[in-house]
Structure 1
């Protein structure tokens, strides 16, 4: 089912035999690997449920707080799998997040037209349509799209404010296609029954890395002409408050990395995000436009 591709002491890409699509497959599934996000998981799940997500498939990377209970409250049909592990092929560590994503495609992908793989600090925001499935409908038989990060910083908050993420964090870096290291990256929405290879930020479909933007246009993702957030905007709330940023650093990365290297990488990215910011209310505007702002408040 899976084939591992190795590089530089880590396995970060897994090849997949795509699942056979079910005749009645439909909707969009969100795949999440999570550890101790009790504070924010309810808002995240509530928003995406309101945006039309059909099912959450959640990989529990050792939660010890109320994260899973909050998920079950917001989405009683959530699928939760234990996933606290570190696997190696000899000296090479297998990326646990990529392994979860590949497992989700192979075991659940047959039932859905679309599948996406995001974190609790990432929100998929419909820009014109009332829901994510409606925002994807114009793409026809396109097998996948890449959505650039819109990187949000601390918005001046030293400690967690009341009222949730969307209401309080509205300042982001103005350039989703920035050449600054760590600011330009993508998450993807794919047809799981055409997935042939997985990485965290790149997915191959039909044996090809070719990707499309949310307008259905294709070129190299690195080209500025690829940029679009006309139909779906991917908000990445990288830091939240300063206190939460410090806690994020203390938790460490998904792969085993020296602490000092991890700290430098995170703080360099934060500085780049906050060097210049613009106001972005896309998520709040969608809630107002669809008449749902009262349903998202914590």
Structure 2
């Protein structure tokens, strides 16, 4: 039996949830990073403008200016945890997914201070569709403990090299169908009440021991059931996933390799296949630009300044 499972990484962790702190409020972001210098300033500015209460950054061995750029934008709203590691279960040899481990650590150690926590990546932007803040976009949900947001996947937008002006302004074409059913393109990230989380993976959490979640309209479903067409919603909050930016950055992403121990050729083929699926049928989506325009009185957004 050990031989059967020894090659499979540990991608799901259980935890005892933290107790809620008195007066907890706001939405905190959890991010694991490694050498995201080019775009991390824009990511931090966007979410700071959107009202993120705090950002917990797990630094997976960055050697560039990623952390200093985050610090310059976020100041006291930033906590950095060194997280440069690969860990295995010594008995079976199974790798423990470093990203899941970071998320579990953040939820357990910091989650009790906030009403909401969202574990997202540096290529993911949380975009309020109607409200002027992240917390405002969730206010109508009452005590719901888990909100699943489907990926809205953006591709290269025709750019061979990184354009001037940042991600939000330059990448406005995404896969037309967020629930395409194509593996690797259809998935979710979850905003949670950490005090109710009892188990988690990168793309899903269990609440009070149950595989249950809600959409941003407050509709309940099982974790499998959220893939159903009727569950889809981005009425209040949209998750923009800039799966790749320019072709040059796509090549660099492939060269960096997977965050797990995966063969390079297999990783490259998977990433290229995902990009092809995203770009097979695209539509224009300017919701992130529209959000910034609402905040800035229709002024043209510019989060691309070199920090």
Q: TM-score, normalised by structure 2?
A: 0.93
**Residue 178 of structure 1: aligned partner:** 180
Runs (4 or more) in structure 1 with deviation over 6 Å come to: none
The alpha-carbon deviation at position 296 of structure 1 amounts to 2.9
CA distance in 1 between partners of 2:6 and 2:213 (Å): 23
Q: Which residue among 191, 197, 202 is the counterpart of 1:200?
A: 202
Alignment of 1:49-68 (within 5 A): 49-68=48-67
Alignment of 1:113-124 (within 5 A): 113-124=115-126
What is the alpha-carbon root mean square deviation over aligned residues? 1.2
SS at match of 1:149: strand
CA distance in 2 between partners of 1:156 and 1:169 (Å): 9
CA distance in 2 between partners of 1:296 and 1:68 (Å): 17
CA distance in 1 between partners of 2:126 and 2:66 (Å): 20
SS at match of 2:95: strand
Alignment of 1:211-290 (within 5 A): 211-219=213-221, 220-290=225-295
**Residue 19 of structure 2: aligned partner:** 20
CA offsets per residue over residues 208-230 of structure 1, 9 Å max, x none? Answer: 11010000001211211110000
CA distance in 2 between partners of 1:32 and 1:297 (Å): 20
**Residue 29 of structure 2: aligned partner:** 30
**Residue 150 of structure 1: aligned partner:** 152
**Residue 80 of structure 1: aligned partner:** 80
The alpha-carbon deviation at position 179 of structure 1 amounts to 1.1
The alpha-carbon deviation at position 290 of structure 1 amounts to 1.8
CA distance in 1 between partners of 2:295 and 2:288 (Å): 11
CA offsets per residue over residues 45-82 of structure 1, 9 Å max, x none? Answer: 00001001000000000000000000000001200010
SS at match of 1:17: coil
CA distance in 2 between partners of 1:262 and 1:285 (Å): 35
1:102 corresponds to 2:109 = no
SS at match of 1:221: helix
Q: Name structure 1 gaps, 5 residues minimum.
A: 1-5
Q: Name structure 2 gaps, 5 residues minimum.
A: none
CA distance in 1 between partners of 2:255 and 2:220 (Å): 39
SS at match of 1:196: strand
The alpha-carbon deviation at position 254 of structure 1 amounts to 1.1
Whether contact under 8 Å (2:199, 2:205) holds in the other structure is yes
SS at match of 1:197: strand
Whether contact under 8 Å (2:169, 2:301) holds in the other structure is no
The alpha-carbon deviation at position 141 of structure 1 amounts to 0.7
SS at match of 2:214: coil
Whether contact under 8 Å (2:289, 2:301) holds in the other structure is no
